[in-house]
Structure 1
Amino acid sequence: MLWMLMGIMFLLFVLNFPMYISMIVAPLAVIICYFPNLGPQLATQQLIAGVSTQVLLAVPMFIFAADIMSAGETSNRLLDIVDAFVGHIHGGMAITTAAACTLFGAISGSTQATVVAIGKPMRNRLVSSGYEDEDTTALIISSSIIALLIPPSISMIMYCVVTGASVGDLFKAGVLPGVIILMFFSIYNYINAKRKKIARRKKFNASERLAAFKKSIGALGFPLIIFAGIYSGMFSPTEAAAIGVLYATILEVFIYKSIKFKDFKNIALSTAVVTTAVFILVAAGCLFSWAISYARIPQIITESILGPNPTALMVLITVSIAFFIAGMFVDSIVAIVILTPIFFPLAIQAGIHPIQMGIIVTLQAAIASISPPFGCNIFTASAIWDVPFIKVVRRLPAYLIMLIVISILIIAFPEISLISVK
């Protein structure tokens, strides 16, 4: 049964079928061959159930808000405010880029959107300031993964849909690991710039910093409103997404006047395309999860790998490796909806907090997105900048090592991911 499931998926993957086709056909074949009494109508019900949860309403609205701000002035204003305060120190431009990726991640929730929105204006700035092109590319695609840990993260929402964990709690738990990643990257780039003797920029005076702050205060308001609202319990993540769309519209149309209402048609179409892809994957993943659960495949896999009574440490290490490898070949959402149902029951049995598990899963999905050979951010950067694959990945090892160290810290010290959870 397991070999049939994996064999069909691999065959369809080799034949270049879309991933969602593989995720639907393989479990359907298992149901028809091994459980003919269930009937195909149950499969249809599971597909519908996969996209019927209220939490998923937040996804298209967060994407829409991010698309509005990406089309407007928000990304440039975020760059300006960070640059005004840290641009003059060693590695200031690199630190500005990493911090701006973090702030934009608090708007978009998408690594690829962050690569495009921050990478396009910053890449030329960095190169003209003396940074090597390969260092610049590695910095941008690595910093963009912080978007998966800083709310509103679409990957976190997917994890909560699959497991039933609290979206609000996971959003809050992701902030500290995201900040730790930013700190590691900033220290590394400070040392690297000092070692390579990259020229420092002019220091902004108080009045210039105040002017930059006033210019950027609207952009900074988005993550502040979203996080403060969820953290205080004033509104749910779904309500926060709706408020985000309203805020983005007011900001870009009436305050910055960077887009017009006639532009919303193309923006909405872009959002619809991304949302459709996400929802199809979620529906297919729900069917896949239901089929393998009914067939007890997760128990078979976990017992053969970990034994009947694994420790929490063994489970977390196995989860990290499994999600890291899977994320190198498929989108993080696909990895989450397929693998989480396999490992989540075992993690709970081993005494692992669902939120810590969610942070580990999200972090590994993020790391995988910049890991050769198939990390999605690598191909995004290669496509938008027309840079050869080898140049994109050449300086990534340093960032991957830092991210592995952070993963070890979160596994060894659960408090890092649970400090904000009651």
Structure 2
Amino acid sequence: MDYPKSVPSVGLVNGKFVDENPVNGTPGSLIPAAWGNSITDEVVNVVKAAGLVPDEADLGQLLLSIQKISQSDSAKYALDTGASGTYVASYAPALKALVDGVVLCFKAQNGNTGASTFSPNGLTAAPIVGAAHSALQGGEIVANGDVWVQWNSSIGTGSWVLIDSTGGAFQVANASKSQHAVALGQLAGAIGTTAPQFDSSLKLVTTAFLARSGKQLSGVVPFTGALTGGASHVGGFLYGWSATANSYSLPNTVSLAIPVGAVITLANFGSNSMAIVPQGTDKTQTPSLPATSSSFTLVSGASAEFTHVGSGTWFITGNAVNSSSADFAASIGLSGYQKLGSWIIQWGTASAIAAGGSLTVAYPLTFPNAALMTLPGNSAAVGSTANTCTVGVKYGGASQCTFYANGTVGSPNVPWIAIGY
């Protein structure tokens, strides 16, 4: 609508109405009936569109009508009548041209399975793109979902940008900053940065972080001679292999901030024993012995896991602890013993038993419960390998036994072996 410029002699001044001026004798502008009716009809149409009944005495109807129409937004909502991927909707009043920024909503009749288009009021169908300005891939629109699109003439030759779609997936551009949403396609390749070693936050875990945290071997380190442990050895497998003596100093848990649960695996492939030495105030501990700052001996062919259990203590597990465990303690010599868990094997020699006499021998270690049997070996006189007599054994409790020489040729030596628990 506009001022009645086409009406002859309407009397507009500078395109606007003016009042009559009796002093100057200038007439006022005319108000044509057609123009007055058109103004009134436009206002009445707005009132009716808002669902109100026009009332001549109500001077607030136009404002109320505009507010109601704006709140209902019914002019921008329609039902889809197209097919999957080709969405069509008719709005009232009808859209005659597209303007950048216009937002429309439609209720989808079908979901999409790939690239899609939208045509309102018979206008040329244009692509629907996601927030990344890329064609839809499928699943962004679902049947009976409400879909909001916004026209952008600068994307391609003009596209509808999917602002929201209830029940559908949402397309995002690839993340490039710390607060960006991540696209699924990015997860197939490298993304972000690996968190620092021992990080315990809720950051995204990468395979590199897993390796450094000991979830898989972080590396394999062969060495010869003396090697000082570092934080990079955590989660790794290290082995000494030279013919000369090797040694390894465990990482300093204080200066290197080694966390509880850190694990290092060590193996001795060399021909000599390997000394494993704690650093600083750190200690090592086996299942049956108290924590100690002394070195742990890893014998040739043995391996062990060293786990930091807190307070600077490295707990040792693996086959290497058998030799240091009280359950597998041993005293090796001409007489001695070997513990095998609850079982104990002991051995020795009853020397120079007088012919026809006896000799009581104390076991190297008192059996905790009982000696089950003591067996004598071949007996011979001192300095001779010839058998001289038969030998008997008398049980003497858990700490000793007595040997008897039944013969006349004197002073036999009797090797023996005992088993108990």
TM-score, scaled relative to structure 1: 0.17
Compare relative contact order (CA 8 Å, sep 6+) and give the higher one, 1 or 2: 1
Which has more helix, going by share of residues?
A: 1
TM-score, scaled relative to structure 2: 0.17
